[in-house]
Structure 1
Amino acid sequence: MKPPAKLRSAPLPSPVGLSQSDMDRLTELFVRGTPANTLRAWESDLGYITAWRQHRFGAGPHWPEREDVALAFVLDHSRDLAEAPAGDAARAAAEALIAAGLRRGLACPAPSTLDRRIASWRAFHRMRNFTSPFEAPILRETRAKARRAADRAPAPKSAHPVTREVLHQLMDAAGPGLRGLRDRAVLALGWASGGRRRSEIVALDVDDLDLTAFDAEGLVWLRLPGTKTTTRGDTPRLVLQGTPARTLVAWIDAAGLTSGPIFRRITRHDTLGRNRLSAVGVAEILRRLLRDAGLPAGWASPHGLRSGFLTQAARDGAPLQAAMKLSLHRSPQQAQKYYADVEITENPAAGLFDAG
């Protein structure tokens, strides 16, 4: 994979004593050893940071960055700039970013967004063997205060979880032909293999599947190229069985797939395209099937497949560790929140008012 354009062209100096050719090889190594989603986030964040600094301080990033600039970045993104006066430097920079399509509005961004951009900025320093200004005590304390001041729960990635009942509704809403077969296979694999992220679904190739046990046992084994929490070659094998396995094999057989991407675009004439289905395409499939199933627009996002799998596992009494073996959550605390929401509704103490 080639380094993202902004990373390749960024004016980042080399560590002392490292030639430009060695620097190029180091950059390539970082790219090859970093998940694709992280690379996209780095490119987006570098573009944002560069534009913000240009409008706020009149020049692009400096390496290593100054502490006063880093502090201004935290302060600028820890308040509602709609309340700032017209001549405020932070507001002027924000308005320029809005005009450039890099920022949505003047409201205070979510703390998670600020944390991600700072994490990217720190990564750019590590790549050049520089100490990040965000390690300074005043920056660490300011960030902690900013998170407490925001004091808001993170918005869910999907308005609702796609539980088993909803999943069946969506699969029933998929039409006939290749498009319907593909759409049902996307949903079945994405949900039943542990609640896959859409980037993981579309990255799968035919070579990532093992169908040798399908005829005898009805099993389809798959190995993801890599996930947000695992690297290529380290991701454990996952399994599909029952209806999800049959749905996937039906799609593969109907499409005549022997190599290349499992999920591909379908033309308007319902013929198989050559191009890999994109992550955006998965979102479009879900949006269309939600509409066709009679559910409101925006009822769920692709992350609803992931949250729905874990929510259903909790409802059915599956042990958390068993669900995590498929979802590949690294943190039990992260996965436990889906179980907590289900468990509290079944707590006898929650119905004391109407008891007796």
Structure 2
Amino acid sequence: MILPVSPAPLSPADEAALAELYRRGTPPNTIRAWERDLAFISAWKRAAFGAPLAWPEAEGVALRFILDHSVDLTNKPGPAQAAAQALIAAGLRRSLACPAPATLDRRIASWRAFHRMKNLPSPFEAPLIAEARGRARRAAARPPAPKSAQPITREVLEAMLATCDGSHRGLRDRAALMLGWASGGRRRSEIVALNRDDLDLGEWAEKGLLRLRLLSTKTTGPSQAPRLPLKGRAARALLDWLRLARIEDGPLFRPVSLSGRVLRRRLTPEGLRGIVRHRLDLAGYPPGFASAHGLRAGFLTQAALDGAPLQAAMQLSLHRSAAQAQRYYADVEIADNPAADLLG
């Protein structure tokens, strides 16, 4: 899908160059979110108004978008419900329930970004629209839900690792899970984005230490790419996978065929989600026990249980906000807090 970058004064060549600049200068996850949001708001505008998006968009359309996505439409027949049902039929909306405020905020942020790309004013800046958006956010406020029902603590991770055998699939899963957990609780997108040249073995022979370069995370970009340490069992598991799969360049983690052959293409974030779900199932945990984000939550939760200082854990997790990282420490049962045993 082509991003909506087309300021009127530009020639077609300049327009194409600007679009390419946006693509190269924007994280892949943001590009994917923009494309999903553009598909959603385009389909909603056509379903609600029978017309394509306009640039700049009318304030009445922006207000209607906020109103339509700030209520539960289950028992509210009318134009808003009909538009929502059209989106459900197109696979762009799951249900008639009120979307989460964060989802509405993200789609509005994308719509505003599209206006900026065209060097046009956004209708969402109008005082009435901004006020309605704030009211909608407060009216639909709900307690923040954890991204993983349970954290994958060390005990859970060990149970998952015990299901990994010596096959290509087993060694890949062991390496991906251990790397994702031990390097600070990496996100799915960060794990699968790693390439062989992001791995530095320069200190392995002398210190038993590998360095992982993260070119892009939610809090850092290529210019500040951190180099995180990986040591011990996690480092050995990664090297075992690389040797068996004979990976010398390209993606670090790849799909494995049903016949056990390592493919050349990159493992997707959905593929990693499937690995976590599969290993939890083999380890005997119930469906929905944890998601892939449980690796991140589990690392920080275990750090709290082991008495690691918050700042030390954040150096690996790369949390920018201490308040956000502190939530995992606050979730630890107070009786399990190492500080309760200071006197012995």
Task: State TM-score, norm by structure 1.
Answer: 0.91
- Asked whether the equivalents of residues 160 and 279 of structure 2 are also in contact (C-alpha less than 8 Å), the reply is yes
SS of residue paired to 2:255: strand
Answering whether residue 133 of structure 2 is matched by residue 143 of structure 1, we say: yes
Q: Deviations over 1:39-60 (max 9, x none)?
A: 0000000000000000111111
Question: Aligned partners of 1:303 and 1:253: how far apart in 2?
Answer: 28
Q: Deviations over 1:156-197 (max 9, x none)?
A: 211111111111110111123111111000000011111111
Question: Aligned partners of 1:284 and 1:45: how far apart in 2?
Answer: 25
Q: Deviations over 1:194-239 (max 9, x none)?
A: 1111111111111111112112211010101211221123221101
1:187-198 matches, cutoff 5 A: 187-198=177-188
1:206-217 matches, cutoff 5 A: 206-217=196-207
SS of residue paired to 2:84: helix
Identical-pair percentage: 60
Question: Aligned partners of 1:162 and 1:152: how far apart in 2?
Answer: 25
Shift of 1:6: 4.0
SS of residue paired to 1:276: coil
Residue among 116, 122, 125 paired with 2:115 = 125
Residue among 45, 62, 65 paired with 1:70 = 62
Question: Aligned partners of 2:336 and 2:154: how far apart in 1?
Answer: 19
| Residues 344 and 20 of structure 1: CA distance in aligned 2, closer, same or farther (over 3 Å) | farther
Question: Aligned partners of 2:256 and 2:19: how far apart in 1?
Answer: 37
| Residues 269 and 156 of structure 1: CA distance in aligned 2, closer, same or farther (over 3 Å) | same
- Asked whether the equivalents of residues 74 and 143 of structure 1 are also in contact (C-alpha less than 8 Å), the reply is yes
- Asked whether the equivalents of residues 193 and 238 of structure 1 are also in contact (C-alpha less than 8 Å), the reply is yes
1:14 corresponds to: 7
Answering whether residue 69 of structure 2 is matched by residue 60 of structure 1, we say: no
SS of residue paired to 1:220: strand
Task: State TM-score, norm by structure 2.
Answer: 0.94
Shift of 1:320: 1.6
Q: Deviations over 1:91-117 (max 9, x none)?
A: 110011111111111110111110110
SS of residue paired to 1:96: helix
SS of residue paired to 2:35: helix
Question: Aligned partners of 2:277 and 2:336: how far apart in 1?
Answer: 31
Question: Aligned partners of 2:336 and 2:180: how far apart in 1?
Answer: 28
Q: How many pairs are equivalent?
A: 339
1:65-214 matches, cutoff 5 A: 65-85=57-77, 88-214=78-204
SS of residue paired to 2:290: coil
- Asked whether the equivalents of residues 184 and 313 of structure 2 are also in contact (C-alpha less than 8 Å), the reply is yes
* Code of the aligned partner of 1:53: K
1:51 corresponds to: 43
Question: Aligned partners of 2:110 and 2:323: how far apart in 1?
Answer: 24
Question: Aligned partners of 2:269 and 2:150: how far apart in 1?
Answer: 19
SS of residue paired to 1:151: coil
1:353 corresponds to: none
SS of residue paired to 1:265: coil
1:265-280 matches, cutoff 5 A: 265-280=255-270
Question: Aligned partners of 1:54 and 1:116: how far apart in 2?
Answer: 20
Q: Which is worse superposed, 320-329 or 284-293?
A: 320-329
Shift of 1:339: 1.5
- Asked whether the equivalents of residues 198 and 213 of structure 2 are also in contact (C-alpha less than 8 Å), the reply is yes
Q: Which is worse superposed, 186-195 or 172-181?
A: 172-181
Question: Aligned partners of 1:147 and 1:298: how far apart in 2?
Answer: 28
2:316 corresponds to: 326
Residue among 253, 268, 271 paired with 1:263 = 253
Residue segments in structure 2 that go unaligned for 5+ positions in a row: 339-344
Shift of 1:268: 1.5
Residue among 218, 239, 255 paired with 1:249 = 239
Question: Aligned partners of 1:29 and 1:128: how far apart in 2?
Answer: 14
Shift of 1:13: 4.2
| Residues 117 and 345 of structure 1: CA distance in aligned 2, closer, same or farther (over 3 Å) | farther
SS of residue paired to 2:63: helix
* Code of the aligned partner of 1:18: L
Answering whether residue 216 of structure 2 is matched by residue 223 of structure 1, we say: no
* Code of the aligned partner of 1:54: R
Alpha-carbon RMSD? 1.7
1:39 corresponds to: 31
- Asked whether the equivalents of residues 74 and 97 of structure 2 are also in contact (C-alpha less than 8 Å), the reply is yes
Answering whether residue 299 of structure 2 is matched by residue 309 of structure 1, we say: yes
SS of residue paired to 1:173: coil
